[in-house]
Amino acid sequence: MAVPLATIDGFPYCQFDIKNQDEFKRVSELISTHLSEPYSIYVYWYFLNNWPQYCFIVKHENHIIGVIISKLEPHRGVRMRGYIGMLVIDPNYRKKGIASNLVKLTIDKMIKDNADEIMLETEVINNGALRLYESLGFLRTKRLYRYYLNTHDAYRLILPLSYKSHTRIAFLPAVQS
């Protein structure tokens, strides 16, 4: 088992271990069971294989009860944009602060790695997710009509972390690699 990055309220928070196939299978099952949008296993693999440092899990008695899958990469060559692709908590463990802790862990890691902003989408009807993200400073920036396969609209939310998030792209220097 991976060494926990943090233990909060008795739950160990760990970075996803790309070499652990059983862990990958359990993360895939958690997402496919509890997320409203169906994703191909290749989508999980894409994130987990390319950005494992931004993918965190929470365990309880050796069961994965929560996962956040994210990435950080240059956006239009001028700012570093984090993206939260998926956040899933087993319904039996909701309302315990686990989702908030996973998002905070991800934000802290991305700030450490010089993110200028963090972006995500969530369904306009998902009031719990909207409350969570807005309580952490995310701002609704755009409504995306019929964004999801179930035809629900989404909000794009952005957490600005640096001046680059507020500056027009034309006025920004290129990201240095």
17: its two tokens: 């271990």
pLDDT tens series, the chain, 177 aa: 566 788 888 888 988 888 888 888 888 888 888 877 777 778 878 988 899 999 999 999 888 999 999 999 998 877 899 999 999 999 999 999 999 999 999 999 999 999 999 999 999 999 999 999 999 999 999 999 988 878 889 999 999 998 877 777 677 778 876
Left (φ > 0), alpha (ψ -120 to 50) or beta: where does 114 sit?
Answer: left
Positive or negative, the CA dihedral 11, 1, 113, 140 is negative
How much is the pLDDT for 139? 95
Q: Which two tokens stand for residue 158?
A: 């952005």
pLDDT of residue 118: 97
Tell the residue number behind the tokens 């309302």, with chain if given. Answer: 95
Residue 116: exposure state from Cβ atoms within 10 A (0-12, 13-18, ≥19): buried
Q: What is the pLDDT of residue 9?
A: 84
pLDDT at 165: 78
pLDDT of residue 24: 86
* Nearest Cα to Cα of residue 116 among 158, 164, 157: 164
Query: pTM for the whole thing?
Result: 0.89
Question: Do residues 83 and 89 lie in contact, with contact meaning Cβ atoms separated by under 8 Å?
Answer: no
CB burial of residue 68 (10 Å; 0-12, 13-18, 19+): buried
Residue 82: its pLDDT value, please?
A: 96
The partner residues of 157 in beta bridges, in order of sequence, read 120, 140
Neighbours of 174 (CB within 10 A): 10
pLDDT confidence of residue 22: 86
- Are 87 and 99 in contact by the 8 Å Cβ rule? The answer is yes
CATH of domain 6-171: 3.40.630.30
Predicted pLDDT of residue 85: 93
